[in-house]
Structure 1
């Protein structure tokens, strides 16, 4: 099968259009599954040796703002740096599993072990690696929408 890529500025960033011959309609489901299951990679900086490393987005537990950089924590406990501000990370990551929970933190919903309501209309979120975060009141609606 020959693959041709074209640009279309009228399409949304998170959209892809696949055009096939009508005889290939029986393969559409397998093509869609292959595209959707392809793992998104994130290029981060290893602070120990200042080298760029590619990590799978599904392994990211949390992304926390640190001045003009972000700290990326993965499920193994390793920490990496991302040379972007948190607001630009949020814009560029159209991933459905990532959700911003306060002004300093984005978490991966796949790594939530439990959450509960707390005082002052906030939610406490416990992650699989043992860390805990609070969802601020401003982001609660978005957080609930991502979980449903």
Structure 2
């Protein structure tokens, strides 16, 4: 099968349009599965040697705001820097598993092990790497929506 890429400014961002011959309709499910399962890579800065490395987006536990950059925490416990502000990271994330829980943090819902209500109408979230965060009152509705 030959693949041709074209740009179309009328198509909304984060949307891919695949056009095939009607005889290829039986392959649509496999094509969609292959596209959806392709692993997204993220280019981050290794703070110890200041080099750019690629990590898998699915290994990211949390993005934490650090002034004009973000700290990227991965499941192995390592921390990297991302030269983007948190609001731009949030815009770029099209993954259903990431949710902003307060003004400084975006977490990966795949790594949530437990959550519980705390005082002042907040939620404490425990992640599988032994870290914990608080969901602020402003983001609780969005948090609950992602988990349902």
| Superposition TM-score, scaled by structure 2 size | 0.98
Residues 1:128 and 2:118 are matched in the alignment: no
Runs of 5+ in structure 1 lacking a partner? none
Q: 2:50 aligns to what?
A: 50
Runs of 5+ in structure 2 lacking a partner? none
Q: 2:60 aligns to what?
A: 60
Secondary structure of the residue aligned to 2:125 is: strand
Q: 1:36 Cα shift?
A: 0.4
1:9-24 paired onto structure 2 within 5 Å: 9-24=9-24
1:82-97 paired onto structure 2 within 5 Å: 82-97=82-97
Q: RMSD of aligned C-alpha atoms?
A: 0.7
Structure-1 separation of matches of 2:100 and 2:13 = 19
Deviations 1:80-113 (A, max 9, x none): 0000111111111121111100000000000000
Q: Which moved more, 1:11-20 or 1:130-139?
A: 11-20
Secondary structure of the residue aligned to 1:7 is: coil
Secondary structure of the residue aligned to 1:30 is: helix
| Superposition TM-score, scaled by structure 1 size | 0.98
Secondary structure of the residue aligned to 1:70 is: strand
Stretches (4+) displaced over 2 A: none
Q: 1:142 Cα shift?
A: 0.8
